[in-house]
Amino acid sequence: MENENNLNRWQDFRRRLADNDIWYSFKHTPMAYISAITGITLIALAVFAPLVAPQNPFDLASLDLFDASMPPSWMDQGDPRFLLGTDDQGRGILSTIFYGLRISLFVGFTSVFLSLLIGVSLGLISGYIGGRVDAVIMRIADVQLSFPAILIALLIDGVFRTVASKEIHEDLALYVVIFAIAISGWVQYARTVRSSVMTEKIKEYVQAGQVIGLGSGRIMIKHILPNVLGPVFVIGTLHLALAIIIEATLSFLGVGLPPTTPSLGTLIRIGNEYLFSGEWWITIFPGATLIILSLSVNLFGDWLRDALNPKLQ
């Protein structure tokens, strides 16, 4: 009986999926599924980096300075062990990219999640309750909007640098960067959610909830929230690309992640010093990975926005 019920639900789900416009659009938009596959591949590579990377670039014992600054394996003086060459420390570029991807994606996902959590909650409260609470939250948002995200992140990082000693700073750099990016991005979620909530809350299904006698909290979370999440997903996806870029930028500027926990940005920074001496591969391969990552996330987000907006179809 229970089994049959589950089977029915599964069939029901299949039918719904086949009927679903978004799924249809996904299947028929090469840009969407190619970017999704690329993105998932990169995430998998990052998650399984210790398994798939040819070397462990952080195992100091395995590093050999004789291997330093080797070009990619297909070039003269290349070494088949290092497909994409090595850096000045003799670390294989391919392996550092896998590990760097891990850190970049970790920072990206956690900071977007935090940002989303803060932004959506404040937006929901601001839009539903209105009045003074709304005014205060939105004024803070206005002030923050006067500065680009990268500047806010830089500032938070800078303040932390001033307050903390160097050792503490290196240990906590990862979390400071995550916090800085999260704080710099919440406004967009809050504004979008707030304006959606303002249009949703006067709709009759919300009034129906009030007539039943449901409390504000229940109406906000159970009724309004699911109806305003569409644009949040879109912003979240695009913000993921942005967060990864901001992190890379901070690290490139030397105020993000230290060389001990190198992200893609840190790798590019390290390589940039060797650009003029002709060792382009140290920069270009991490750079290309970063571009592919942010491009696939952006392409997916762009498709998602169009797919969720029925007016454009």
Partner 1 sequence: MLTFIAKRMIQSVLVMIAVGLITFALLRFVGDPISNMVGQDTSTAEREELKEALGLNDPFVIQFANFAKNAVKGEFGLSYTLRVPVSQLLSERIPATLELSILSALLALFIGMPMGIYTAIHKDSWLTKLFLSSSLVGVSLPTFLIGILLILLFGVMFRWLPTFGRGEVVDLGWWSTGLLTWSGIKSLILPTITLAIFQLTLIMRLVRAEMLEVLRTDYIKFGRARGLSMKSIHYRHALKNTLIPVITITGLQLGSIIAFALITESVFQWPGMGLLFIQAIGNADVPIMAAYLVLIAFIFVAINLLVDILYVVLDPRLRTTVGD
Partner 2 sequence: MSLLEIKNLTVKFPSRKGDFTAVNDVSLSVEPGEILGIVGESGAGKSTVGNAIISLLDPPGYVSGGSVWLKGERIDDLDENLKSAIRGKRIGMIFQDPLTSLNPLETVGAQLIETITLHLDIDEKAARARAIDLLNQVGIENSEERVDQFPHQFSGGMRQRVVIALALCSDPEVVIADEPTTALDVSIQAQILGLLRKLCEDRNVGMIMVTHDMGVIAEITDRVAVMYNGKLVEIGKTDKVLYNPTHDYTKSLISAVPRPDKKSHRFPLVTYIEDVKERPEDLKLSDMWLGKTRDYEEFDGPMLQVENLKQDFVVKHAIFKRNHKYFTALKGVSFDIKQGEVFGIVGESGSGKSTIARCVTGIYEPSGGTVSICGTDLNKLEDKSRQNYYRRQTQMVFQDPFSSLNGRMRVENIIAEPIIFHKQATNKTEVKKIVDELLETVGLGSNAAQKFPHEFSGGQRQRISIARALATRPRFLICDEPTSALDVSIQAQVLNLLKDLQEELGLTMMFISHDLPVIRQMCDRVAVMQSGEILEIAETEALFNTPQHSYTQSLLGLMPKFRTVS
Residue ranges that bind partner 1, judged by CB under 8 A:
139, 142-143, 145-148, 150-151, 154-155, 157-159, 161-163, 241, 245, 248-249, 252-255, 268, 272, 275-276, 278, 280, 283-284, 287, 290-291, 294-295, 297-299, 302, 311-312
Shortest Cβ 20–partner 1 spacing (Å): 24
Using the rule CB under 8 A, which residue among 144, 227, 249, 298 binds partner 2? 227
Shortest Cβ 153–partner 1 spacing (Å): 11
Are 108 and 243 spatial neighbours (Cβ–Cβ below 8 Å)? yes
* The entry of partner 2, partner 1, none that residue 27 binds, CB within 5 to 8 Å by partner kind: none
- Which residue lies nearer to partner 1 by CB, 56 or 298? 298
- Which residue lies nearer to partner 1 by CB, 17 or 145? 145
- Which residue lies nearer to partner 1 by CB, 87 or 157? 157
Residue 142 found at the interface with partner 2 (CB under 8 A)? no
Residue 13 found at the interface with partner 2 (CB under 8 A)? no
End-to-end CA distance of the chain: 42
* The entry of partner 1, partner 2, none that residue 248 binds, CB within 5 to 8 Å by partner kind: partner 1
C-alpha to C-alpha distance for 59 and 81, rounded to whole angstroms: 16
* The entry of partner 2, partner 1, none that residue 210 binds, CB within 5 to 8 Å by partner kind: partner 2
Strand ranges (E), the chain = none
Bridge-partner residues for 92, per DSSP? 86
Shortest Cβ 204–partner 2 spacing (Å): 4
Interface stretch with partner 2, choices 169-177, 189-197, 201-209, 301-309 (CB under 8 A)? 201-209
- Which residue lies nearer to partner 1 by CB, 110 or 283? 283
Query: What is the crossing angle of helices 93-129 and 30-47, to 10°?
Result: 110
C-alpha to C-alpha distance for 76 and 152, rounded to whole angstroms: 45
- Which residue lies nearer to partner 2 by CB, 214 or 308? 214
Residue 312 found at the interface with partner 2 (CB under 8 A)? no
C-alpha to C-alpha distance for 144 and 186, rounded to whole angstroms: 10
C-alpha closest to that of 265 among 243, 239, 286? 286
C-alpha to C-alpha distance for 261 and 259, rounded to whole angstroms: 5
Neighbours of 27 (CB within 10 A): 10
Q: What are phi and psi for residue 235, nearest 5 degrees?
A: -60, -40
Are 216 and 145 spatial neighbours (Cβ–Cβ below 8 Å)? no
Site residues for partner 2, 204-223, by CB under 8 A, read 204-205, 207-214, 223
C-alpha closest to that of 301 among 231, 211, 205? 231
Q: What are phi and psi for residue 165, nearest 5 degrees?
A: -75, 165
Residue ranges binding partner 2 (CB under 8 A): 12, 24, 203-205, 207-214, 223, 226-227
